């Protein structure tokens, strides 16, 4: 008997065709619904993506109340689910915002603008994207489970995940476009597992597939074990998460309670 809350990660390759991106999100979301999911997570840059980045990002950016998010809300309402996806949001001074938007049928329930930009491994995301402010974590609830948002390169900064967990999150969502490269697959899997283990929470991550992304989207439990995972190809993975698993893990490993340092912003 299946128990817990169904969490789906949809792995697909967004393109410059915004209508096609929404169509693929809908296809995967409906498949997730059919498999019992209550929440579906999609990659960073789900609304629009080009590689390498160029001025078309700015031309195709949308406000949060634009057509991409409006369609997500409509779809979430039709499926009675929560949907989370990466939006290229309209920004300032010729740049965009890299925004993760969480919706249900009633509207936007949480919004996170990527704080740590990917100016590493020969890339410069900041040429086209402005960093999000150091805002308090936004969380939302799915069937009583508290969920928080972060994005891709943020995964390398453990203090961010800790602040989200301190705000009550029991599941961390990580939409990503984790670029392939030497050891990048290893970094991706290791960091996802580390964020789950050190915070004793669930982590769900949705990446772009090969050849640009590493894929390997997954739902990971509080002990760092993948409950469901994908390889390098497009696809959908669904796992069931429950608060009791967090409680069991924390009873054995009360690391959050035993820590002696706190994270502050500045």
Check 44, 125, 170, 177 and give the catalytic one. Answer: 44
Whether 159 is catalytic is no
Residue of 129, 190, 140, 186 lying closest to 167 (CA atoms): 140
Tokens found for residue 187? 């970094």
**Structure tokens that stand for 5 in this block:** 């809350």
- Residues 6 or more apart in contact with residue 26 via CB below 8 angstroms: 75
Q: Which of 18, 33, 62, 114 is catalytic?
A: 114
H or E element: which one contains 64? none
Nearest to 180 by CA among 218, 206, 211, 217: 211
Which token pair is 30? 């409906």
152 part of the active site: yes
Task: Please say if 18 is a catalytic residue.
Answer: no
Per the residue annotation, which of 18, 89, 125, 152 is the catalytic one?
Answer: 152
From residue 239, alpha-carbon distances to 27, 48, 158, 197, 263 in Å are 18, 27, 24, 18, 30
Task: Answer yes or no: are the C-beta atoms of 145 and 172 closer than 8 Å.
Answer: no
Active site residues: 44, 114, 152
């Amino acid at each position: 008997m299946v128990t817990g809350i169904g969490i789906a990660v949809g792995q697909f390759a967004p393109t410059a065709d915004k209508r096609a991106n929404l169509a693929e999100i809908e296809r995967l979301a409906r498949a997730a619904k059919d498999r019992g999911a209550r929440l579906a997570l999609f990659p960073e840059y789900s609304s629009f993506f080009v590689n390498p980045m160029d001025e078309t990002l700015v031309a195709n950016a949308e406000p949060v109340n634009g057509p991409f998010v409006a369609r997500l809300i409509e779809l979430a309402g039709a499926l009675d689910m929560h949907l989370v996806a990466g939006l290229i949001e309209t920004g300032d001074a010729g740049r965009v915002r890299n925004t993760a938007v969480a919706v249900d049928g009633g509207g936007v329930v949480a919004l996170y603008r990527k704080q740590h930009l990917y100016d590493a491994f020969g890339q410069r995301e900041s040429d086209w994207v402005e960093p999000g402010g150091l805002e308090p974590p936004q969380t939302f609830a799915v069937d009583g489970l508290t969920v928080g948002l972060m994005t891709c390169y943020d995964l390398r900064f453990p203090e961010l995940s800790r602040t989200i967990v301190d705000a009550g999150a029991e599941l961390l969502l990580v939409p990503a476009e984790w670029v392939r490269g030497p050891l990048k697959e290893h970094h991706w899997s290791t960091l996802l597992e580390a964020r789950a283990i050190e915070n004793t929470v669930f982590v769900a991550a949705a990446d772009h597939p090969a050849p640009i992304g590493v894929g390997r989207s997954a739902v990971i439990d509080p002990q760092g074990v993948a409950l469901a995972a994908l390889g390098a190809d497009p696809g959908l993975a669904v796992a069931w998460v429950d608060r009791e698993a967090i409680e069991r893990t924390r009873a054995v490993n009360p690391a959050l309670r035993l820590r002696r340092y706190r994270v502050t912003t500045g």
